[in-house]
Amino acid sequence: MHFIETRGNDGRRPARVAFSEAILNPMSSFGGIYVPERLPQLGLEFLRAHLDSDYKTLARDVLAAFELDVDAALIDEALGLYDGFDDPSNPVPVVRVRDDLYVSELYHGPTRAFKDMALQPFGAILSALAQRRGEHYLIMAATSGDTGPATLETFKNRPNVKVACLYPDGGTSDVQRLQMVTEDAANLKVIGIHGDFDDAQSALKNLLGSDTFRARLKEKHTLLSAANSVNFGRIVFQQIYHIHSYLELVRQGAIALGDKVYLDVPSGNFGNALGGYYAMRMGLPVEKILIASNRNNVLTELIRNGRYDLRSRGVIPTSSPAMDILKSSNVERVLFDLYGPERTRELMRQLDEERYYELAADELARLQAIFAADWCDDDEGRRYIRETFDGGYLMDPHTATCFKAYDTCRERPLVTIAYSTAEWTKFSPTIANALTGETGARDIDALAAIAARAGTRIPARIQALFDKPVTQGEVIDKAAIEGAVLGFI
């Protein structure tokens, strides 16, 4: 399968590229990104054939349907990294929380967040491709809290790869920050910036699109790629767990094969929701995809009113910081799929230059046929955390936003899959506050209190963070990022 460009081709790049090229060089003409030329059609027979399949078997066959130019042995090696999750036989448990609400737990990997589902295999594949080509890559990542730790974890000490990870200083949880700043592998660089995630992501995209920066790297015999979900190497793995979660409902007797469900996704950069959208387009029986946001509810406004308006907005810090994002990169891929490259280029140009675009009425109708959306403020989120804990389930504040969308967005009483994107351990002060009203608790104290109250254990990897030395304490202005990265290389 080949990959094409969301904003059309500028005549200077190939009009179609292979998967390996798209993940090694993820930015395309006019600042766009890559998408599959077509999506494979899986259908009910594919689902029926995988009712008894384990996760790796399902993943292998979904990837095979994309006809990627990656050796089967390398794919098997990459998928083998799921054996390092909590339960190798079931890396994504699906848990019933209400009669018709099930939570797909995506956080059972090494960094306790859903980014491991894609970045663990992605890192193995990208590093292996670089070695086989005899090339060296700088992998850039911008994070609102989870992409960074997962990127650093998957690439640490891998040959032919260095990583520069940007995060907003003060814009992540303490555990997320410690997961990054305590990394000590020689091929990793962590840079805090004065600003928010949108500043970090804008800096990342500017560097990815800069011919001057690429030339400076080339002088150092280094090529440039990215680990954010602008890279389709992430998205191709994020479709799989939506299919797995549906099959789990069938296995548990919650639905019959072919029944439609709602997918309820907490959304920041929209990669998780895009994976569900592609799974739906490939034949997964989905009624609608519910988009849950926090107070940075630009996606709610887009889906309800057709307007993407950043003109008078800044990022609002919330208790669900991984969703404190205003420019959601993967919306572009949905725009391309619905409206084509020329319209996508026009809309993205307007957003870049005017911080605004508006869909036509017929365009909005097509979007609303697939998505519904609502947003959840911090007080509502704490209430959902407390109520759900009283019912026997402990969840993080990002998952809590899904409960609001579940309550307000469903038009039919269908079984709903909510996606839990992070373990409670990454946001313990917020959860302690929700459960007890306590404020100002340190992460280490909140972790212990919640573990005791819930009768559970703190994962050893999280506990150990508080005893590790900080090795990556640099915090700089945005203007100094390029120099810091080049100095690292």
pLDDT band at residue 434 using 50, 70 and 90 as cut-offs? very high
Candidates 230, 310, 220, 295; CA nearest to 269 is 230
pLDDT at 206 over 90: no
Confidence of residue 201 (pLDDT cuts 50, 70, 90): confident
Residue 438 has pLDDT above 90, yes or no: no
Q: Is the pLDDT of residue 98 over 90?
A: yes
What is the percent of the chain with per-residue pLDDT over 90, rounded to a whole number?
91
Task: Name the burial class of residue 105, with classes exposed (0-12), middle (13-18) and buried (19+) by CB atoms within 10 angstroms of its CB.
Answer: buried
pLDDT at 384: 98
**Closest listed residue to residue 303, CA positions, set 295, 311, 291:** 291
DSSP state of 371: E
pLDDT band at residue 46 under the 50/70/90 scheme: very high
Average pLDDT estimate for 39-46:
96
- % of residues, the chain, pLDDT over 70: 100
Contact criterion met (CB below 8 Å) for 77 and 53? no
Q: What is the pLDDT of residue 145?
A: 86
Taking only the tens place, the pLDDT of each residue in 50-92 is 999 999 999 999 999 999 999 999 999 999 999 999 999 999 9
The confidence band for 209, taking pLDDT boundaries of 50, 70 and 90, is: confident
β-partners of residue 34 are 5
Task: Note the pLDDT of residue 441.
Answer: 84
Does an H or E element contain 190, and which?
strand 188-193
Q: For 86, which DSSP code?
A: S
Query: Which run of H or of E encompasses 101?
Result: strand 101-105
Q: Is residue 318 within 8 Å of 296, Cβ to Cβ? A: yes
Of 203, 249, 261, 196, the C-alpha closest to 414 is 261
- pLDDT band at 105; cut points 50, 70, 90: very high
CB atoms within 10 A of CB 364: 17
- Residues 388-430 have pLDDT tens digits of 999 999 999 999 999 999 999 999 999 999 999 999 999 999 9
Q: Helix, strand, coil: what percent of the chain each, to 5? A: 50, 15, 35
Q: How far apart are CA 269 and CA 326, in angstroms?
A: 8
218-226 average pLDDT score: 93
- What fold characterizes domain 89-114+234-465? Rossmann fold (3.40.50)
For 189-199, what is the mean pLDDT? 92
Q: What is the mean pLDDT of the chain?
A: 95
**Over residues 225-251, mean pLDDT:** 95
Closest CA to 168 of 204, 149, 195: 195
Give the whole-angstrom CA distance, residue 408 versus residue 410.
Answer: 6
The CB-based long-range contact list for 126-134 (8 Å cut-off, 24+ gap) reads 126/23, 126/24, 126/161, 126/225, 126/233, 127/155, 127/158, 127/159, 127/160, 127/161, 128/74, 128/77, 129/20, 129/23, 129/24, 129/70, 130/24, 130/159, 130/160, 130/161, 131/159, 131/160
Higher pLDDT, residue 206 or 260:
260
Ordered by start, the domain boundaries in the chain are 89-114+234-465
Q: Are 375 and 292 in contact (CB under 8 A)?
A: yes
Beta strands in 277-435 (DSSP E): 286-293, 307-309, 356-358, 371-375, 416-420
Question: Which among 65, 123, 47, 53 is positioned nearest to 90, based on CA atoms?
Answer: 53
Q: Give the C-alpha separation, 314 to 296, whole Å.
A: 9
Strands 137-142, 223-226: pairing kind: parallel
Say how far apart CA 189 and CA 140 lie, in whole Å: 10
